[in-house]
Amino acid sequence: MSPGARPVRVRYAPSPTGDPHVGNIRTAIWAWLFARHTGGTFLVRLEDTDQTREVPGSLERILDALHWLGIDWDEGPDIGGPHAPYIQSQRLPGYRAAAERLLETRAAYRCFCTAERLAEMRKAQQAAGEPPGYDGLCRARPAEEAAARAAAGEAHVVRFAMRDEGRTAFEDLLRGEITVENRHFDDFVILKSDGFPTYHLAHVVDDEVMAISHITRGDEWLPSAPRHVRIFDALGYERPVFVHTPVILGPDGGKLSKRHGAKSVLEYAEDGYVPAALFNFLAILGWALDDKTELFTRERLVEVFDIAKVSVNPATFDTQKLEWMNGVYLREMPEAELTALFAERLERDLPPAVPRPVDRELVRALTPLVRERVKLLGEVTALVDFFFADDVPTPAAEEFLGSKRWRDDVAGAVAGLGASAATVEGVATWSAAAIEAAMRATAERLAVRAGDLFTLCRVAVTGKRVAPPLFESMEIVGREPVVRRLRAAAEALRATA
């Protein structure tokens, strides 16, 4: 079937087993871009048939992650749609009906093997050096006998009867035709003893009912695809187009995991990444328009994205590149928008003693001073917290005397701070330019390098050796607090001399 033979309908179908990780979300981004590029439909479906692994609150966090990234959907568990419900545990009758159809056509059979028997079987296979898999004991059981035992209430599962001979072939949009020997597959469970389907059956039934045109999922499902093809065929369903996307690797070449610093999407939000940057980064992590373009607006990605150009090779997650990209997005953001993000972050991270809401005019004034320095929103508070304090903690002497110039002349440092306090106290016009001119004249009068004197003042005023531009910061902090901090620092140094 050609990719354009059916209207494009794609789904993001996570399991509620925790927060969505970046590999899972990248597949969702590609499916969303594909749908929006083609004018198709993107839906969200929750695959929760494995009730033992469900984590409370996962659905809400999955949807929150999508909303944060700016991914919308046309049908889903929260908004409904023509194929509702979009939660698999609410669709059980349909799976059971499909299993009954497969039983009637002998494409499936009831299996009454106990857990103990299956454990002994696997143990014997291991001892004999045979590949693990169900040995087909119940496959030869007469269907009437199996039906009677089931009607009497005997616990059982339903297994799909895979072909023993020949091959299964299917098309993958990225990889072309894939052919697999049927002998590599055993008869697998499609309906569990509790009446819940396995993934193998449930997603096939739902993809047919919901008219899914393309199955986009990670290539860890590639080995199972022949099973799914067989179920599609046995039920008389039209096969969707398979699109198995590659894994994401860590810097060491292993599959991306938390040991590489990988986080869930919501953790990236917590750390101060902006959604546009993470969306852009993940969209091109394994897909490229050309060999040079890396920064895209969302609208541009929708315009140019071609799912057939997704690479089949694993991509390496580069945290430094993501941070760089996030910094670019922050620097290019309209100042009013960036100010709002800074204010929101400061509201969250500043000490409780700082009044809320934070002074928006103050945030607006300091934003231009730090926007070029920030790669993550999480870095903002540590850079600017001194603006919101009445006083800053007096740093240890070594913070002031970091350079050899002052370590050898503590008295000179004390004198320099005192002179600086007097200078700024007498500046006629309180502006960065006037403060700088006066301070340079003071350095010349004291016969010290301006940079050495300014470093002392920076630590005294901000409490940090690395801080926003000194004179602009002094202007925003205000004359009286600056004078007070300079004199307090001089007294603290004098006490150590």
* Residues catalogued as catalytic: 258
Return d(Cα 249, Cα 263) in angstroms, integer: 13
- Locate 198 and state its tokens: 């396995």
Give the closest residue to 479 by CA, choosing from 423, 412, 396, 398: 423
- For residues 309 and 88, give the distance between their C-alpha atoms in angstroms, rounded to a whole number: 31
- Tokens describing residue 360: 């928006």
Q: What are phi and psi of 42, to 5 degrees?
A: -120, 125
d(CA 342, CA 369): 12
Cis ω before 56 (30° cut-off from 0) = no
Report yes or no: 178 and 225 within 8 Å, Cβ to Cβ.
yes
**Nearest CA-CA partner of 435 in 445, 448, 421:** 421
Per-residue tokens: 300: 């541009």
Helix 319-332 vs helix 275-283: angle between axes, to the nearest 10 degrees? 130
Range list of H helices, 426-478: 432-446, 450-462, 470-477
Most distant CA atoms of the chain, gap in Å? 106
**C-beta of residue 383 within 8 angstroms of C-beta of residue 467:** yes
Q: What DSSP assignment string belongs to 369-403?
A: HHTTT-SSGGGHHHHHGGGG-SS-----HHHHT-S
CA 313 to chain CA mean position, Å: 20
Read off the amino acid at residue 466. V
In one letter, which amino acid is 238?
A: E
Here the tokens at position 412 are 């000179």
What secondary structure does DSSP assign to 214-276, as a single string?
EEEEEGGGGGGHHHHHHHHHHTTPPPPEEEEEPPEE-TTSSBP-GGGT--BHHHHHHHT--HH
Count of CB atoms within 10 A of residue 215's CB?
Answer: 23
What single letter denotes the amino acid at residue 135?
A: D
